[in-house]
């Protein structure tokens, strides 16, 4: 019987803005114009996976491979990994590199999926505690507060605070412990079969959603309520 739910953050409950929106906001803030035309700059940033929470790199420079694999272990590694990818995409102006990185951490850069709030509120009504379990290099709590979701989350288990990344079972066990539940009673919901699927090693049931733009996934979380049965 499911007594609590763990959720991934990016691509599960909220989605980061598009690469084009991200780049435009940073350019507007700095007043810098990239060396290449806007569309080409956005394309290269996408190709190199420079937007945290956005598409993964299609081309990962060899010197960044280890850093990429461990990027969510600390704020320093996270910033270095994505700064390196931004450089690889052809943006080398330090002010613009910093503006791009800083932009992705502000609440305005993130949008909840349409059914995120309704699903979390339904779980609250049912008395099921919720944890957010994320591979991330910065504190996402202000994003949840700004979108009115923080009061619906009972625990945050963030890789950079724990020093452990999904799919390591330690991060899921920590979340279960903070919810006061055994793993078999906690459903893990995420978009990554590799990272979020690691919860299975503890005996947690797992449910996957598609990591799609917000306007393309209006009801990805709603089926969870059917899985949990009637109130």
pLDDT tens for 111-131 read 999 999 999 999 999 999 999
94 and 11 part of one domain: no
79 and 135 part of one domain: no
Picking from 108, 142, 174, the residue at the C-terminal end of a domain is 108
**What is the domain extent for residue 92?**
16-108
Q: Distance (Å, rounded) from C-alpha 31 to C-alpha 25?
A: 10
59 and 39 part of one domain: yes
**Three-class SS state of 223:** helix
Per-residue confidence (pLDDT) for residue 230, from 0 to 100: 65
pLDDT in tens, 36-95: 899 999 999 999 999 999 999 998 999 999 999 999 999 999 999 999 999 999 999 999
8 and 21 part of one domain: no
Q: Which helix (H) or strand (E) holds 177?
A: helix 169-179
132 and 197 part of one domain: yes
* Ordered DSSP codes for 30-46: H----SS-HHHHHHHHH
223 and 121 part of one domain: yes
125 and 222 part of one domain: yes
121 and 209 part of one domain: yes
Would you give the end-to-end CA distance of the chain in angstroms?
A: 13
200 and 132 part of one domain: yes
Q: Which helix (H) or strand (E) holds 186?
A: strand 186-190
pTM above 0.85, yes or no: yes
Q: Over the chain, what is the mean pLDDT?
A: 95
Tokens representing residue 197 in the block: 């699927």
CATH number of the structural domain spanning residue 171: 3.40.50.1000
Per-residue pLDDT band for 231 (boundaries 50, 70, 90) equals low
Picking from 83, 108, 133, the residue at the C-terminal end of a domain is 108
49 and 126 part of one domain: no
Residue 33: cis peptide before it, omega within 30 degrees of 0: no
Asked if the model's pLDDT at residue 150 lies above 90, the reply is yes
101 and 127 part of one domain: no
**Three-class SS state of 98:** helix
Number of H helices, E strands in the chain: 10, 7
141 and 156 part of one domain: yes
- By the 8 A CB rule, do 6 and 175 touch? yes
Q: How many domains does the chain have?
A: 2
Picking from 51, 86, 108, the residue at the C-terminal end of a domain is 108
């Amino acid at each position: 019987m499911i007594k609590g739910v763990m959720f991934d953050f990016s691509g599960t409950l909220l989605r980061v803005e598009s690469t084009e929106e991200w780049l435009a906001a940073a350019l507007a803030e700095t007043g810098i114009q990239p060396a290449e035309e806007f569309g080409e700059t956005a394309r290269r940033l996408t190709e190199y996976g420079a937007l945290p929470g956005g598409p993964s790199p299609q081309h990962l420079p060899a010197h960044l491979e280890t850093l990429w694999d461990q990027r969510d272990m600390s704020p320093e590694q996270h910033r270095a990994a994505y700064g390196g990818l931004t450089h690889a995409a052809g943006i080398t102006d330090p002010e613009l590199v910093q503006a791009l990185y800083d932009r992705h951490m502000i609440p305005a850069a993130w949008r909840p999926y349409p059914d995120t709030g309704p699903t979390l509120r339904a779980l609250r009504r049912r008395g099921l505690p919720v944890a957010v379990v994320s591979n991330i290099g910065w504190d996402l709590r202000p994003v949840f507060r700004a979108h009115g979701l923080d009061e619906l989350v009972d625990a945050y288990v963030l890789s950079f605070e724990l020093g452990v990344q999904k799919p390591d079972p330690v991060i899921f066990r920590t979340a279960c412990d903070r919810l006061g539940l055994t793993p078999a009673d906690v459903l893990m919901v995420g978009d990554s079969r590799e990272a979020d699927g690691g919860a299975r090693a503890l005996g947690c049931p797992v449910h996957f959603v598609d990591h799609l733009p917000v306007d393309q996934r209006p009801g990805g979380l709603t089926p969870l309520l059917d899985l949990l049965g009637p109130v």
